[in-house]
Structure 1
Amino acid sequence: MRKLIYGFGLSVDGYVNDRDGKIDWTEPDDELHQFHNDRFRDLEIILNGRRLYELMAEYWPHVPADAPPIQQDFGRLWTDMPKVVFSRTLTEVQWNSTLVAENAVEEVRRIKAEGDGVMEVGGASLAATLMPHGLIDEYQMFISPVVLGGGTPMFPALDQRIGLRLVETRHFETAVLLRYAAE
């Protein structure tokens, strides 16, 4: 069965974006950017909600030719990576993407059962749909040194707690990684 990771940059107070939906405060240093590029190479599939897909699709397929090589590399990785986009409002998706409009939980169960590699879920709303069903195997939090005071929380309100086990910490110049396995 595939392993599903939920990884996100977040503020010290637990938000993945600010009140205006912006993530400009998560700008990675080169070491962290390279870390993301390298871990992205290990993924088979990424699962995105509509908002994150649109945000990523706005920039990564169109990285300017004069952008740093690390960004150009990630642009190629993101564009080529198989993606499943969950949305009830989009009518089409591009860049090696498949659109799914209904029943995210059942579709993710099916995708997990199809292989034994690693995939990642991006988008707090999509992850919130999957959490109560025990579909997320690992949580990777890249905590930036900022307090936003509001925005979209990484974790939704849950009826039952999710037990986690710390498996890695790592310090970067612009963030601290806390990696947890679900128990």
Structure 2
Amino acid sequence: MNKIVSSISVSLDGFFEGADRDIEWHSVDEEVHQHFNDYLRTAGAFVEGRVTYQLMEEFWPTADQDPANDGPMAEFAGIWRDMPKYVYSRTLEAVGPGATLLREVDRDEVCAVRDAAAGDLIVGGADLVETFRRLDLVDEYRVYVHPVLLGRGRPFFGEAADRQGLRLLESRTFGNGVVLLRYETDPAPADA
């Protein structure tokens, strides 16, 4: 069965972006980027909020046309272009080729898309992931912890009414110090 997966890079102190939306601190070298590609090419669709979609759409559709972007970066441009995308936005008027614009997160609709997809749904965008989390739609978290303390920025996880139990599926350390912590959500209460 397909899963809904949140894949996010964070600093050791839990921020997914620094002050002024800075993400220059991400340590994505060829090894990490190839790891992303190897997993993401098996996905069924990218599910994104407006901000994430616009940032990705601004760069990736033609990134492989720049000779400076070779190897895993050029490879990801093709993955991005070919992957179906579902974009949640109340303000966008239209989205690009291969993308479907949705206005509201409907749990039944998301589950139908997940079940019909050719692989996992990769959900991106902190606000959208938070909505999916509140609706109990996230099956797995892939948290890439980067070896940096930012001190301030925007934390990935917001406040929640309830505790969520997680089960560690995998941990992996990359050569550049990035650590993957892969968790599945645990339906059992965290207090049990």
- Tell me if TM exceeds 0.5: yes
Aligned to 1:154: 156
1:132 aligned residue: 134
Rg (Cα) greater in structure: 2
**1:44-99: CA deviations, max 9, x gaps?**
11100111111111111121133222211101101110000101111111141111
Contact 2:3 2:114 in 1 (8 A): yes
Query: Displaced runs of 4+ in structure 1, greater than 6 A?
Result: none
Specify which of 65, 73, 76 is matched with residue 75 of structure 2. 73
Give distance in 2, aligned partners of 1:95 and 1:8: 25
Q: In the alignment, what sits opposite 1:163?
A: 165
Would you say 1:48 and 2:48 are equivalent positions?
yes
Q: Secondary structure at the match of 1:10?
A: strand
Partner in structure 2 of residue 97 of structure 1: 99
Secondary structure of 1:73's counterpart equals helix
Residue number in structure 1 paired with 2:10: 10
Q: Aligned residue for 2:180? A: 177
**Contact 2:142 2:181 (8 Å CA) reproduced:** yes
- Quote the Cα distance in structure 2 between the aligned partners of 1:114 and 1:70: 28
Task: Please give the alpha-carbon distance, in whole angstroms, between the structure 1 residues aligned to 2:107 and 2:152.
Answer: 27
Q: Distance in 2 between matches of 1:23 and 1:175?
A: 14
Report how many aligned residue pairs link the two structures: 183
Residue 59 of structure 2 aligns with which residue? Answer: 59
Structure 1 residues not aligned, in runs of 5+: none
What is the CA deviation profile of residues 127-174 of structure 1, one whole-angstrom value per residue up to 9, with x for unaligned ones?
A: 000102211000010000111222222212110111001110000114
CA distance in 1, matches of 2:25, 2:70: 19
Report how far residue 104 of structure 1 moved.
Answer: 4.6
Q: TM-score, normalised by structure 1?
A: 0.93
Does the 8 Å contact 1:13/1:147 carry over to 2?
Answer: yes
The residue type paired with residue 175 of structure 1 is V
SS in structure 1 at match of 2:75? helix
Aligned counterparts of 1:157 and 1:33: Cα–Cα separation in 2: 30
Number of the residue aligned with 2:22: 22
Output the amino acid matched with 1:97.
Answer: A
Q: Which amino acid aligns with 2:72?
A: I
Equivalent residue letter for 2:86: V
- Mapped contact 2:11–2:149 kept (Cα < 8 A): yes
Please report how far the alpha carbon of residue 115 of structure 1 lies from its aligned counterpart in structure 2 after TM superposition: 4.7
Verify the 8 A CA contact 1:3 1:116 in the aligned structure 2: no
Conservation of the 8 A alpha-carbon contact between 1:105 and 1:129: no
Alpha-carbon distance, 1:22 to partner: 2.1
By how many angstroms is 1:179 displaced?
0.4
State the distance in 2 between where 1:165 and 1:3 align. Answer: 15
Question: Could you say which residue in structure 2 is the equivalent of 1:32?
Answer: 32
Instruction: Indicate the SS of the match to 1:26.
Output: coil
Q: Which runs of 5+ in 2 are unaligned?
A: 187-192
- Give the TM-score of the pair, scaled to structure 2: 0.89
